[in-house]
A and B are shown apart, each in its own frame.
Chain A
Amino acid sequence: MVMGELVYDVDVVVLGGGPGGYTAAIRAADLGMEVMVVESRPTLGGVCLTEGCIPSKTLINAVGLVENIKNSEKMGLVSKGVELDTDKLRQWIQTIVDNLSTGIATLLENRDIEVVHGHARFIEDHKIYVDGTNTNIRFKHAIIATGSRINELPAGIDLPLWTSATALKLPEIPKSLLVIGGGYIGLEIGQAYAGLGSQVTMAEYNPKFLSGADQDLVNVVIKKCQEQFSAIHTGSKVTGIKKIKTGYLVTFEKNKKIFNGEFNKILVATGRRPNTDDLGLDVLGIQVDKRGLIATDDQCRTIKKHIFAVGDITKGPALAHKASREGKVAAEVIAGHFSAFDNVAVPAVLFTNPEIAWTGITETKAKEKNIPFKKGKFPLTALGRAKSMGKTRGFVKIIADPESLLILGVGIAGEHASELISEGTLAIEMGATLEDLIVTVHPHPTFSESMMEAAEMAANGSVHLLKRKDNA
């Protein structure tokens, strides 16, 4: 032992303090175990809190308020020259993030969970070493929750391009912004900057946006983007970026045709990769697949019985709520509980404008897998609450098993989709049938009524549509 070296002995060590990690740590401590968390960032909360979910949604909310106010003129709202003070907004976002991060730190502190800040690596089967702190932690069980990071730019491009993390810090509102990558992060931030006043151009390599999602949902957003953005280039490849005085000169290739564009700033949102390459996994004999993901069973256990993995580093959607649920499962399994990640439906939410969300099986997947289904689709134009708020874009659709009428999937585009989707998820997890949704009283006038209406449409046609579908 080297002088000044610290050695801890714990029941559980958690690598990473994001939603997967801190949730696991709290649960494990509550179940009576001695727990330590290693986090390489100076603060807790992971990507989600520092540069993901929370700052992006805080920004999107503020931008949405501006649009709402502007759109409310027809309701008699008098608002001349509504402006956003970006300095204040930046501060507001930071306050929220700091606040929540301190909150997490307090939660851990209250449970006597020690947090070590530094990069952790496995050095033995039951031991990690934390870089920079000269700390060794011997553990009975480890939970790996190291999350993901932004894909590096292709080699050779050495330019100060923006990532989602940069954009969320609001360094400036560029006059023109090119967003490369039309995934949910690109769409969300692209729309936010359009709302802040940037002329946004979107470039997506694939011919379609979000090809795994149902295109009828995606189209609701794309339609709005077409109104907001200066240009949308799908099926387009960025083949060159050159620094010029005003910003960048970008070369695109689409259908073998080359064209150029000039932009003040470029946001690269081309995906993320799991943080599994520098963990010392080879010491444990744990391998990652070609995407860098660690294989786990439904108890979040890796091939090593005492090592668990949760969050963005395991298969499944890279979303915070999936990470935190897995974190709980891992902690419970370690405590000897019969827990498992056996969820049938993990909701996906895009905080775009309008929001879209889906849960359970998508229509696309059902068709691909030849799963028979019955569908009900209820447009928000037929909903009183949506009309009164001037938010009639979008729809709710429900797909159900044609025989048992069990609800298999729900897709929502429109205002409050992010909130409404949970009713669908609960319905699927509980094995609810269309009838269950139909006979449940939904408050009036609310957006939630659209769930009931869509279920009724799927069953036999809704009472609020002019034409009744008789054999839907």
Chain B
Amino acid sequence: MFEFKLPDLGEGIHEGELLKWYVKEGDTISEDDPLCDMETDKAAVTIPSPRTGVIIRLTGNPGDTIQVNQVLVVIDEDFKESSIQQIKTIKEVGPEPETKKIAAPATRRLAREMKIDINAVTGTGSAGKVTKEDLEQYEAGKKDVKQEEPGAYTEVSLEGSSNNGTIPFLEIDRLPDYEKSGPVEKESIRSLRKKTAIKTTSSTILVPHVAHMDECDVTELENLRKTFNSTKEKAGNLTLLSFVIKAVSSLLKSYPEFNAGIDPHKMEIVYKKYYNIGFAADTPRGLIVPVINNADQKSVAAIASHLVSLSNKGRDGTITAPELTNGTFTITNVGAIGGTGVVPIINYPESAILGLGRVIKKPIVKDDKIIIGLMLPITLCFDHRIADGVRAALFVRDLKQMLENPMVFMTGV
């Protein structure tokens, strides 16, 4: 009997999501035949079978997260029909799961009176205890389900919040039956999509966002950039974003509240004294945020080359977990595609994010004359718990000044 454990999938990856099995229990498999597809933070991989034999047991279902070194599959190499049967029975007879819920005697009695199987109820009390309120909640959910269909009504609960962990008025309504109106296609939410969903949901629910917007005239910056790129053949890749990252990382030193985070349990604001700037990058698998560590200590050219290599790695799926973690501030640049502005969601648990729109030529008034300006729309979204609007206005003003007078900040004044 061979127990195949999820192998090390590369640097820093300690788990993966099971996407699909190519086999089922009882199937015969040959060495190197595909066993399953797994997806990690980095990429999707097909894992081949290390042995030839009969699949005795698969340990997870698509959607499950499997840890490195966790048994993935049990393969019997010198199989006989009987051994499958044997394993199946052992599995069925195996230790019964301890599912008994903890609840006070009166609550247990109430559950019976309400004809609720208490073991099916999620307990919100200390140590997972089921309370009278949990039963009432469960009952309410059950009623709606009865009238309509599964998934009808859920109250979203948030760990760590008071008020019994639920948000008042937050109810998730049942979806209409779209199929009645026309053909639909369904796709389950998983891997990167799921991660993005979780992150953005928690960020929007937990963080009071405020957006502060402006436009910068980047004519001079563009000229500078073009000059750089034409003179240095090799580094012909300085992008607008690399300048912005440079500017932001040095500006953050004067605005610690935008390079911070909140620890609500300790009632503390954590100011980070390192400046790791993440940038949103689109990849075939979805949105990732590679991080340029210590951007404040890097030259624009170094930042630019990091931008390129990280983007490439992101695209081909070779980016590693450390390259995607420990950011302190994020910049998202949708300008390459278009848009007069963007109101991004803070990359939780950071405290601010900068959104860049499309640079376009606009008529602007300068010294009472209408001239053509090359305008970059910028938006700073910040956590109002940590900072007030004035600080954001000042930050944006300073940033605008830096980007409009690049020679000043580039020479380190």
A interface list, Cβ under 8 A from B? 337-340, 342-343, 401, 404-406, 429-431, 433, 436
Contact = CB atoms under 8 A, between A and B. Distances in A.
Contact of A343 (B103, B105, B125, B128): B105
Contacts of B127: 401, 404-406, 431, 433
B109 A338 contact: yes
Given A404-B127, A404-B128, A431 B109 contact: no
Given A338-B115, A431-B129, 19 more contacts: A338-B109, A338-B112, A339-B109, A339-B112, A340-B112, A342-B108, A343-B105, A401-B127, A404-B128, A405-B127, A406-B102, A406-B127, A429-B105, A431-B102, A431-B104, A431-B125, A431-B127, A433-B126, A436-B126
Contacts of A433: 126-127
Contacts of B102: 406, 431
Nearest to B131: A431
Contact of B103 (A337, A339, A401, A431): A431
B263 interface: no
Contact of A430 (B104, B109, B113, B115): B104
Contacts of B109: 338-340
Contacts of A429: 104-105
Nearest to B101: A431
Contacts of B108: 340, 342
Ranked nearest first, the 9 interchain pairs of A and B with the lowest CB-CB distance are: A431-B102, A338-B112, A404-B127, A338-B113, A431-B129, A430-B104, A406-B127, A429-B105, A433-B127
Interface in B111-127: 112-113, 115, 125-127
A321 to B, nearest CB: 14
Interface in B56-112: 102-105, 108-109, 112
20 contacts: A337-B113, A338-B109, A338-B112, A338-B113, A338-B115, A339-B109, A340-B108, A340-B112, A342-B108, A343-B105, A404-B128, A406-B102, A406-B127, A429-B105, A431-B102, A431-B103, A431-B125, A431-B127, A431-B129, A436-B126
A402 to B, nearest CB: 12
A343 B103 CA distance: 11
Contacts of B105: 342-343, 429-430
Nearest to B112: A338
A401 to B, nearest CB: 8
Contacts of B113: 337-338
A333 to B, nearest CB: 10
Nearest to A401: B127
A404 B128 CA distance: 8
A401 B105 CA distance: 19
Contacts of A405: 127
A429 B102 CA distance: 8
A391 to B, nearest CB: 32
A430 B131 CA distance: 10
A341 to B, nearest CB: 11
- Residue of A401, A431, A433 ringed by the most chain B CB atoms within 10 A: A431
- Residue of B105, B113, B127 ringed by the most chain A CB atoms within 10 A: B127
B120 to A, nearest CB: 15
Main secondary structure of the interface of A (DSSP, over half): loop
A173 B354 CA distance: 95
B110 to A, nearest CB: 9
Contacts of A342: 105, 108
Contacts of B129: 431
A255 B358 CA distance: 96
A429 B156 CA distance: 29
Nearest to A404: B127
A430 B108 CA distance: 10
Nearest to B123: A431
A332 B247 CA distance: 76
Nearest to A343: B105
A342 B129 CA distance: 16
Contacts of A436: 126
A436 B129 CA distance: 13
Nearest to A338: B112
A399 B170 CA distance: 40
Nearest to A435: B126
Nearest to B111: A338
A253 B135 CA distance: 60
B103 to A, nearest CB: 6
A79 B108 CA distance: 54
Nearest to B130: A431
A431 B126 CA distance: 9
A433 B127 CA distance: 8
A429 B125 CA distance: 14
Contacts of A430: 104-105
Contacts of A339: 109, 112
Nearest to A433: B127
A406 B113 CA distance: 26
A433 B123 CA distance: 15
B292 to A, nearest CB: 40
A401 B125 CA distance: 16
A405 B129 CA distance: 12
Contacts of B128: 404
B346 to A, nearest CB: 34
Nearest to B100: A344
A254 B126 CA distance: 53
A401 B126 CA distance: 13
A430 B113 CA distance: 18
Contacts of A401: 127
- Residue of A343, A401, A406, A436 ringed by the most chain B CB atoms within 10 A: A406
B131 to A, nearest CB: 10
A229 B109 CA distance: 48
Interface string B149-187: 000000000000000000000000000000000000000
A342 B102 CA distance: 12
Contacts of A404: 127-128
Nearest to B128: A404
B129 to A, nearest CB: 5
Contacts of A343: 105
A430 B104 CA distance: 4
Nearest to B102: A431
Nearest to A337: B113
Interface in B298-330: none
Nearest to A405: B127
A436 B102 CA distance: 15
A407 to B, nearest CB: 10
Nearest to A431: B102
A29 B55 CA distance: 62
A87 to B, nearest CB: 45
A367 to B, nearest CB: 16
A89 to B, nearest CB: 39
A224 B127 CA distance: 40
A405 B115 CA distance: 29
A430 B103 CA distance: 6
Contacts of B125: 431
A338 B126 CA distance: 26
B390 to A, nearest CB: 44
B127 to A, nearest CB: 4
B188 to A, nearest CB: 31
A433 B125 CA distance: 11
A339 B112 CA distance: 7
Contacts of A337: 113
Contacts of A338: 109, 112-113, 115
